[in-house]
Amino acid sequence: MKLLLITQVVDPEDSILGFFYDWIEGLATHPRIDEVEIWCLRKGEVSHLPSTVHVHVLPTGKLRRLWMLFSKLIWTKNDTVFVHMIPVWTALGGLFWRLRGKRLILWYTHGHASMWLKLSLPFVHK
């Protein structure tokens, strides 16, 4: 399986989201996952990740990120999309991913249920 992962930060030294680096390592070594393509807002040191993990930084600016979503990420050849803490991506891309037969997973832990979270829920499998 090829996994597309969208997150805010890939950096083991990040004081808030550094734990997610360990998750990435765990996902990359899972027997059912062959490749992990990650798009993030910021990346730190990633040289210790397995060779099956490819980390890319999203372009700056809201319009550029939106263009990236529809021009590249929607059409990727991944089997599953895992969005970590950014429900706007599942809200905007969810219908397209669903129509293309992708499984869509959203990890969101926050006390506030934003408009984007509510809009994304119909498209999310888990």
Residue 101 binned pLDDT confidence (cut-offs 50, 70, 90): very high
**More confident position, 55 or 66:** 55
How many percent of the chain have pLDDT more than 70? Answer: 100
Predicted pLDDT of residue 122: 96
Instruction: For residue 72, give both structure tokens.
Output: 């590249």
Residues in the chain: 126
Q: Does position 71 have pLDDT exceeding 90, yes or no?
A: no
Distances (CA, A) of 71 to 41, 64, 68, 96: 17, 10, 5, 12
Residue 8 binned pLDDT confidence (cut-offs 50, 70, 90): very high
Q: Quote the mean pLDDT of the chain.
A: 94
Could you write out the three-class secondary structure of 71-108? Answer: HHHCCCCCCEEEEECCHHHHHHHHHHHHHCCCEEEEEC
